[in-house]
Amino acid sequence: MKFRFVVLGSALLSGCGSIATPQRVAGGTSSTGNSLAVRVVDANGSPAVGDSVLVRPDSLVPSIASTRAVKTDAEGMARFTDLADGSWVVEARGDSTGRILRLGLAGEEAPFLDLKMGTYGTLSGTVVLPDGDVPGTAFLRGTGQTAKTGDSGTFEFHRVSPGEQIAVALPNPDGSLGVATWEPGEVKPGAKLVLPARVPILPRNEAWRLVWTDEFEGFDRVTWGFDTGDGCPELCAWGNGSLQSFDSSHVLLRDGALVLRAERTSEGWRSGSVQSRGRREFQEGRFEFRARFPSVPGAWALISLQGDSTAGPVWPDGGAIDVAGLWGHRPEALMGIAHLGDSSGESLHPGTELVDSAGWADRWVEFAVEWSPAGIVWIADDRVFHRIAGGRPFDHPFYLSLRLGVGGDGNVAPDSLQEPFEMLVDRVRIFRRP
């Protein structure tokens, strides 16, 4: 994770006034490293005498050996020398007050820091687990503070110094259940910061072996076939009320990427869709797709794995995994959905949305699912956002599907003057464990 080095709250640079978000803060340099001077004041601006100032590496659990601790003198000053270039956490702690900031030392000359103390606060959060009963440990990065997570995945820190705090949780110490990391959050003096629930991320590692890839340097006709027409007579409007008719001429290659192009014609909307049905099918593994979706109202970009192969049951009884779906009029809400039928003949569609104000369109994103007998996990840019248990119908090979639809159930129709729009995919990679 990339961290910003910032001074928050009442941390000031002496002689420079209030500075909200400097990228780097450095002390003078000695022959062996950086020097740093810190002045600590209480809520009234008077020197805080005898408080501890700790400088630690900005790591998950700083070692005792790497921690520097100095008591403030009669002027509230604490001085440090021989600090290496890099990321550090500076924390002042008293009996009932504290202050924390994160900074980067870069061997450049700068004034000393003023830290204004505030009453300790609390910080709590929740780790979402599949079974909800695996206790683990939460950390406040760079502080040495830890807290146990309860059976429901909740944790709480007390006596938390005001300022920017970064919480990290390990549901299992060996990392086998992943790691949950929260964005930096500011703890206000005397207040409680409640973090949103997080699903732990289990990033791909060396245990996965690449078994197949398409980087779209050319069009692999052994793997990919074209969807054509409007789905009639078996599945008119492709079963979801969409407006487009698929045409192979709307599947292009450009600069090492597969391009699916939607365009209004005199005969209605035309778009592109490819799939590997009956050509190349896979059962279980990690499926990665790097793609760029459009944010045009009416666009329906979809990457999926489909279980209705030529020899198997039809949708949804054969199962389907929507790895990533996005409606262009809601670019902030990424959809991950499973489709299946139950014993009574009803269709089930367990799914969720990953909402991000930055949006999931008009930029390259890596979408992935990890599929095993135990279950399926949905991931976007290393953020886990959905899980379901394994079992039928996810017990047989599925084929790949890349599709750009127009309109459809739940979506909006494009404007009558809408210009053509595109969905791009520049790689598909499939991994398995040895």
Confidence bin at 418 (pLDDT 50/70/90): confident
pLDDT at 60: 87
pLDDT at 199: 76
CA 390-395-396 angle, to 5 degrees, is 150
Section 314-325 average pLDDT: 85
Query: CA 15 to CA 316: how far, in whole Å?
Result: 67
Query: CA 405 to CA 245: how far, in whole Å?
Result: 9
Q: 401-412, pLDDT tens digit by residue?
A: 999 999 998 899
Contact, 5 vs 102, CB < 8 A?
yes
Confidence bin at 109 (pLDDT 50/70/90): low
Q: Which residues pair with 70 in a beta bridge?
A: 53
Section 67-91 average pLDDT: 92
Computed over every residue of the chain, the mean pLDDT equals 85
Q: b/e map of 171-199 (b: 16 or more CB within 10 Å)?
A: beeeeebbbbbbebeebebeeebebeebb
pLDDT at 108: 60
**Per residue, what are the HEC states of 286-332?**
EEEEEEEECCCCCEEEEEEEECCCCCCCCCCCCCEEEEEEEECCCCC
Q: Select the highest-mean-pLDDT range: 19-23, 159-163, 175-179.
A: 159-163
Question: Which residues 6+ apart lie within 8 Å of 418 measured at CB?
Answer: 264, 296, 297, 298
Question: Which residues 6+ apart lie within 8 Å of 260 measured at CB?
Answer: 250, 251, 252, 271, 272, 273, 274, 402, 403, 404, 422, 423, 424, 425
Contact, 394 vs 305, CB < 8 A?
no
Encoded tokens for 434 = 């040895």
**In the predicted structure, residue 13 carries a pLDDT above the cut 90:** no
pLDDT at 10: 32
Question: Per this entry, what is the length of the chain?
Answer: 434
**In the predicted structure, residue 171 carries a pLDDT above the cut 90:** no
Section 376-402 average pLDDT: 89
Please give the domain boundaries of the chain with CATH numbers for all domains: 12-118 (2.60.40.1120), 121-194 (2.60.40), 209-432 (2.60.120.200)
The pairs formed by 338-347 with CB atoms below 8 angstroms and a separation of 24 or more are 338/376, 338/388, 338/394, 339/315, 340/316, 340/392, 340/393, 340/394, 341/316, 341/317, 341/393, 347/316
Section 64-69 average pLDDT: 92
Q: 118-127, pLDDT tens digit by residue?
A: 999 999 999 8
